[in-house]
Every structure is written in C-alpha cells, then in structure tokens.
Amino acid sequence: MLNPTWLQTFTMAAASSSFTEAGRQLGLTQSSVSDHIRRLEQTVGRRLFVRDTHSLALTPDGEGLLVHARLILEAHARAEAQFSGTRLRGRVRFGTSDDLAMGPLPDMLAAFRAQHPEVELEITIGLTSDLYALLDQGKLDLLVGKRRSGEARGHSMFSTPMLWLTRPETQVDLGQPLPLILLPEPSITRAATLQTLGRSGHHWRIVCTSGSHAGCMAAARGGLGLSVLPQHLASRDLCQPTNHASLPALPDIEYVALTARRLSRPADTLFQILMDSRLRRT
C-alpha cells in the first residue's frame, strides 16, 4: 500500500537537495525522512533515489513514481476537502440559455451536484435578454449567457464561432433572399446575423421565428431554411450548407457569467466551479 505520508515525504525529497532539507520543510528529522523513503522503496520493490554526500537524484523508477505520487496526493487532498468541511445546503437560482443546456453545461452542473448533493438547483432556461432582466429583478442568483459586442458586463467565459446551419446536403440558392430561422427580438444572435447580412448586401426573408434554440434546430432539420447557431450545436443532421463558403462570415459569440450583487455560499461555489471549468477552455 502506498502510504500518503511516505508519498508526501518522497515528493518533498524529490524537490530538495537532501533528505535533511526535505525534513526541514516537513518538520521531520533526517532519520524520519530516510525511514519513509526506505519503507516506500520496500513497498514498490524499486530503488527510488541515488544519493551521495553531495547530491540527491531520482532513479528512473523514482521519476516514474513521482508522477503517480503527485496524482495520488492531489486526489487525497480533494477527498479530504470534500468530506472534512461543512456540507453546503440551500438553493441556487441559476439561469442559462438552452444552447448551453444542450451543449457543455450539463457536465458542469453534474459535477456541482456530485460535490454538493444537498444544494437545490432551480434552473431557468430562456433568452439571454430575459435572463438579464430576471437577474436585475433579484429572481436569479447566477446566469451564464451571451454578451453583445462592446458590452463590458459579466465575467468572460469563452467565445465560439456562429455557423450557418441547415439540413445535410443543402445548397443555398444565393440568387434568392436567404430563408432565415431566427430567435425573436431582442436576441443577440438574431441581431448579429442581421447586422452581418446588412453589411454584406445579402437579401433575406424570415421564414420561421422560435423562442428557443431547440425550435430553431428543429425547423432547420426540417428544411425550412437557415439558422444561425453556436458551433457546439452542429451535428450530423444539422450542418453547414455545401456552399457555406459563399455566405458571409459570421462573428464569434461570447459567453459570460453574471451574478447577483450578493451571493449565498452555494451560489458562489457554483460560480467558482463554472469559472474553473472546461467551459472556459471550450
């Protein structure tokens, strides 16, 4: 068994110039450090250090064990942190747009739920503009949504390309007004789409308006026209037209997190998880 105490001593010794220095950092005697290393070497059946009176170096086996030791100690620390502190209780009123709910967000919420099972999540899905209003009215604690170009409000999380999406193998007739499937006003993606078309000189007609990204996706899969959606919603049955290179390039869309002025501990914990999550590296 790889005793965490021995592994802690081992990782400190690997970063030190001597067992004496490692003991000073850990508050142990040099003999205690030597004993921990000896026991660890006996457990793994390998020599971990090469040392003389002037130097201390890891053997190849020691270098291999160091990788595992760090991972074990990190996992040990996470487990202690989860079970040693006071369990979070309460409720978090969380708002998000449905494009994120259908994309990377569920994994982050599942991670929060697994760590804090006694916190109730009240999730509101809607257009970003509606979520902003709910936050300002004190009806949400936290939201993740889009930010208009030039706005400064919110904590930036990530940006992603917007794509023209429709049913597979569709070729858009560029000689006709583009048939658009859009969210209603005051949608940020709707405004960005129409501004892009206005600058490019393309003509368009709105053939379908839906209050959700899910509705826009269904209409696009049904062949009603073109929808503009974030890249993470593209799929085998919802993809770019075959002649998409002839359509005007769309801007990236930025996602941000916004919080109420005063956050409960559960809400602040969810906010920190979101800000540290892979959403920021999407």
Query: What would the two tokens of residue 63 be?
Result: 């270098």
Domain of 30? 4-84
Rounded CA separation 158/167 (Å):
27
Count of domains observed in the chain: 3
Instruction: Give the per-residue pLDDT at 280.
Output: 54
Task: Pick the closest to residue 256 from 148, 162, 183 (CA basis).
Answer: 148
Task: Pick the closest to residue 93 from 131, 61, 53, 43 (CA basis).
Answer: 131
Residue 278 has pLDDT above 70, yes or no: no
Residue 84 has pLDDT above 70, yes or no: no
Query: Are both 116 and 180 inside the same structural domain?
Result: no
User: pTM of the full predicted structure?
Assistant: 0.64
> How many angstroms separate the first and last alpha carbons of the chain?
38
Query: Are both 259 and 128 inside the same structural domain?
Result: yes
Query: Are both 147 and 215 inside the same structural domain?
Result: no
Query: Are both 189 and 247 inside the same structural domain?
Result: yes
| Beta carbons of 212 and 98 less than 8 angstroms apart | yes
Write out pLDDT tens, residues 139-182: 999 999 888 877 878 888 888 899 999 999 999 999 999 999 99
CA dihedral for 50, 53, 55, 56, sign (positive or negative): positive
Q: Establish if 15 belongs to a structural domain.
A: yes
Residue 82: pLDDT band with limits 50, 70, 90: low
Query: Are both 247 and 277 inside the same structural domain?
Result: no
Rounded CA separation 48/59 (Å):
5
Q: How many CA atoms lie within 13 Å of 200's alpha carbon, on the beta-carbon side?
A: 18
Query: For residue 95, which phi and psi values (nearest 5 degrees)?
Result: -115, 145
Q: Establish if 89 belongs to a structural domain.
A: no
Instruction: Give the per-residue pLDDT at 153.
Output: 84
Query: Are both 225 and 272 inside the same structural domain?
Result: no
Write out pLDDT tens, residues 178-222: 999 999 988 889 999 999 999 998 999 999 999 899 999 999 999
Instruction: CATH number of the domain at 188, please.
Output: 3.40.190.10
What is the secondary structure of the chain as a DSSP string?
---HHHHHHHHHHHTSSSHHHHHHHHT--HHHHHHHHHHHHHHHTS--EEE-SS-EEE-HHHHHHHHHHHHHHHHHHHHHHHHHSPPP-EEEEEEE-HHHHTTTHHHHHHHHHHH-TTEEEEEEE--HHHHHHHHHTT--SEEEEEE-TT---SEEEEEEEEEEEBSTT----TTS-EEEEEPPTT-HHHHHHHHHHHHHT--EEEEEE-SSHHHHHHHHHTTS-EEEEEGGG-BTTBB--TTGGGSPPPPEEEEEEEE-SS--HHHHHHHHHHHTSGGGG-
Instruction: Give the per-residue pLDDT at 56.
Output: 85
Residue 86: pLDDT band with limits 50, 70, 90: low
Query: Are both 22 and 71 inside the same structural domain?
Result: yes
Instruction: CATH number of the domain at 32, please.
Output: 1.10.10.10
Domain termination site, one of 53, 84, 115? 84
Q: Establish if 52 belongs to a structural domain.
A: yes
